[in-house]
Structure 1
Amino acid sequence: MKFIPYLIPIGFLSLLIVSVIYLARKWSWIMGADSTTWFYVFFAVVPVLFMVGLIKNINAVDYTGHAFYKIASVAMGLYLFITMAFLAVDLVALFIKLKPMQFGILSFTLFSVLALGSYFNAQYLRTSNYKVPLKGLSQTINSVHLTDIHIGHFRNNGFLNKLVKQTNAQNPDVIFITGDYLDSKYALNSSHFEPLQNLKAPVYFVDGNHDHATDNDSILAMMRSAGVNVLQNEIAQFKDLQIIGLEHMVADRETFDVHASPGKPTIRETLNRLPIKSDKPSVILHHAPNGIKHAEAHGVDLYLAGHTHGGQIFPFNYVSNLMFEYNSGMNIYKSLKVFVSEGIGTFGPPFRLGTKSELVNLQLIPTE
């Protein structure tokens, strides 16, 4: 498992090279071109330019960089969908002989369905409902879990106000936000935090990797100004519930995580020093589903995380399953319940295929 973070970029680069060759030849055949040279150049240069643009402009604060990031993100998603469409129609062509024009029409029809369907799927915010029994509760606590909101290049206050309204509609007693509130410095101003003041329940927040990459200190300060309870490796008490809020960190010294600084304390070290009462109901808030075994060893009842996006776009859900022991949904590790939300926003391409943008309503109920 420790080699997966290194194998993934190698595998991605290999697949990109294969896709360039495949798309160039397929387009040349559809167009009836005598030479594939320019098709090779186009499909080799364009993805590289867009990937560079994504990396270079993710934290752009000027309009030009912001616009280029959006164009590059959409283009990378469309590149994936046209590849998937061609491959799917190629499977059909194994059984039905298709002329170039027929192949092209079928491919572009499927491409349009994938692109438009994935875009609107990402915009549609679903509510997922779960009942979670916890020992030691004297009364039911209705909570909402939000994560990976990613306000920035593709989402702004219009989306945020919609999210606040839908959250309040759940009539929560408490709200948990597990990181990646912003995805870029383009949204780093107080106006993108003010809507949080309209939430009608106490809010507890822990940071994520994108918050760190943006400007974590500023984000935490603006969260506090908006009335949000920021937890940095500490415990807060809400009714019967211990809320253990952890900064984004690796599980232990034996674990590598490209998104977490190895110089910071680990989950194991942090939990060892916190005064957790194992006989009291407790929930951990952490951005990524890391250090599950350490949480269970301390008698924690519920672990809430995000970060994975569930893979966001098929077939990357399979990659995400390799990277994370728990990729999405409700899971059980011994006595610990682990819930990983697929998140609200998107990173990079504003598409979701095979996953959902979800607001999670967790009804914590007493049990013997």
Structure 2
Amino acid sequence: MFSIVLNIIGSLFHLYVAARLYSLAPVRKRIPAPAWWIGALLVWLLYIAGVHIGDQALDWRWWPGQFALTWLGITFVMSLCLLVADIASGFGFWWRAHTQKIRGAGALAGISLAAFALFQGMRAPVIVEQEVVMRDLPQALDGTVIVAISDIHLGAQRRSEWLARRVEQINAINPAAVLLLGDQVEDNPIGEPQLAPTLRGLRAPLGVWAVTGNHEFYGDAETTVAQFEEGGVRWLRDRQVELAPGLVLAGIEDIGAAMRRDGDITGGLARTIPAATATETKAATILMSHIPAAAIIEEASARGVDLMLSGHTHGGQIWPFSYAVQKRFAKYAGAYDVDGMTLYVTRGAGSWGPRMRLWQPGEIIKLTLRSPTAA
């Protein structure tokens, strides 16, 4: 079904952009119509082939698959700009003397925005700093620095070499702990021998911890878990640990499958942070949950969680999809206060589908924990 939708939508974008670009006088004068439309047909055939091949494979099949998704992103952005130009010119029925200029401006804007989105998607994620006051954090832990990173989507697009550069970024922060918030892989386990040594390069005295995301379960999740464990990563799958005296770290298994079948999504949280424990221990609690579902957020706050960390949304990744994402997840990017609990939903360090971001780049979160009793 998904590939059928991509076939139809992508084909419409492609045809619209090709037709509008060829309506520009400078293009028509330089390129004969047969050559233009034969070229457009060949690109469309490559797009269709890529949709059916997909970009999950870790061999040569990634290239046509990734081309298809990237071309979809490019033609989507260009279609938006060209549509604005068409509306402004009444699709050529008014302002006829200016139609070429308006349409040319739309084409230039589309090309520029698509290039910017590609740049934002391929550049290194930025470091975003956030201070969090935690109600029950002991004064001795005031100033503790934790790094959170989500949605790295290792696979055909990003391999261990890309991850090694992120390890360098993280180590430069000197965190006490590193938290991986899910979607560590695109789908399948990447199976690279360099993965484990790269992960072991992370320097964090309180450990490197991870929770599963929905993409782990699109492939062989248990193999992915094992491969990351070889690199020293410890998984929190509906369990909690004491990071330091007075500081608890909890993580729940991904709830994506339960959400798709309208099942129970809070059971894992209830098992991981029993209500009695949340009130009796008086420890500051950090919860890792890949998906920032409203029910999880509300339940976490009710159970005394001080800081909840999520990803999944990519911050919408390509505008204006951010509006659609926000309808699904009201709290979809940045920091929120939820009845005294801080929720941070990160845009993620990688991307899904087209390696494009409009407007914001990927991010790695540097969290400085603060105690309310610190001087």
User: Under TM normalisation by the shorter chain, which class is it?
Assistant: 0.7 to 0.9
Residue 245 (1) aligns with residue 260 (2):
no
User: Out of 180, 200, 222, which is 1:177 matched to?
Assistant: 180
Contact 1:136 1:280 in 2 (8 A): yes
User: Out of 29, 43, 51, which is 2:23 matched to?
Assistant: 29
CA, structure 1 residues 98+284, in 2 after alignment: closer, same or farther (shift >3 Å)?
A: farther
CA, structure 1 residues 186+277, in 2 after alignment: closer, same or farther (shift >3 Å)?
A: closer
In the other structure, the counterpart of 2:54 is: 57
Q: Please state whether the residue corresponding to 2:219 is helix, strand or coil.
A: helix
Please tell me whether Structure 1 or Structure 2 has the larger radius of gyration of its CA atoms. 2
Residue 195 (1) aligns with residue 206 (2):
no
CA, structure 1 residues 104+93, in 2 after alignment: closer, same or farther (shift >3 Å)?
A: closer
CA, structure 1 residues 283+111, in 2 after alignment: closer, same or farther (shift >3 Å)?
A: same
- Deviates most, 49-58 or 242-251: 49-58
Residue 303 (1) aligns with residue 312 (2):
no
In the other structure, the counterpart of 1:80 is: 76
Residue 345 (1) aligns with residue 344 (2):
no
Contact 1:183 1:210 in 2 (8 A): yes
Contact 1:242 1:280 in 2 (8 A): yes
CA, structure 1 residues 219+9, in 2 after alignment: closer, same or farther (shift >3 Å)?
A: closer
- Offset of 1:118 from its aligned partner? 1.2
> Partners in 2 of 1:150 and 1:288 — Cα distance?
15
> Partners in 2 of 1:55 and 1:148 — Cα distance?
24
Structure 1, residues 29-60: CA drift from partner, whole Å, max 9, x if none?
A: 33669x9xx97xx69x939x747734642332
CA, structure 1 residues 143+90, in 2 after alignment: closer, same or farther (shift >3 Å)?
A: same
In the other structure, the counterpart of 2:127 is: 127
In the other structure, the counterpart of 2:287 is: 284
Q: Please state whether the residue corresponding to 1:277 is helix, strand or coil.
A: helix
Q: Give the partner amino acid of 2:133.
A: P
> Partners in 1 of 2:326 and 2:6 — Cα distance?
16
Contact 1:153 1:186 in 2 (8 A): no
Q: Give the partner amino acid of 2:135.
A: K
- Offset of 1:19 from its aligned partner? 4.9
> Partners in 1 of 2:52 and 2:4 — Cα distance?
17
In the other structure, the counterpart of 1:68 is: 64
Structure 1, residues 236-288: CA drift from partner, whole Å, max 9, x if none?
A: 1111211111110159xxxx733xx666xx44222323344333210110111
Structure 1, residues 132-157: CA drift from partner, whole Å, max 9, x if none?
A: 00022122221001000011122122
> Partners in 1 of 2:310 and 2:249 — Cα distance?
13
- Offset of 1:100 from its aligned partner? 6.1
> Partners in 2 of 1:115 and 1:19 — Cα distance?
14
Q: Please state whether the residue corresponding to 1:59 is helix, strand or coil.
A: coil
- Deviates most, 174-183 or 10-19: 10-19
User: Out of 338, 360, 372, which is 1:367 matched to?
Assistant: 372
Contact 2:211 2:290 in 1 (8 A): yes
Q: Please state whether the residue corresponding to 1:135 is helix, strand or coil.
A: coil
User: Out of 144, 152, 156, which is 1:153 matched to?
Assistant: 156
Structure 1, residues 300-348: CA drift from partner, whole Å, max 9, x if none?
A: 1111000000110011011111110211000112122111000000101
Contact 2:254 2:289 in 1 (8 A): yes
RMSD value, Cα: 3.5
In the other structure, the counterpart of 2:259 is: 257
- Deviates most, 135-144 or 52-61: 52-61
> Partners in 2 of 1:108 and 1:219 — Cα distance?
43
Structure 1, residues 99-133: CA drift from partner, whole Å, max 9, x if none?
A: 56545543442233112211111223211101000
Misfit runs of 4+, over 6 Å: 8-18
CA, structure 1 residues 72+363, in 2 after alignment: closer, same or farther (shift >3 Å)?
A: same
Aligned length: 351
- Stretches of structure 2 that go unaligned for 5 or more consecutive residues are none
- Deviates most, 342-351 or 121-130: 121-130
CA, structure 1 residues 97+145, in 2 after alignment: closer, same or farther (shift >3 Å)?
A: farther
Q: Give the partner amino acid of 1:144.
A: V
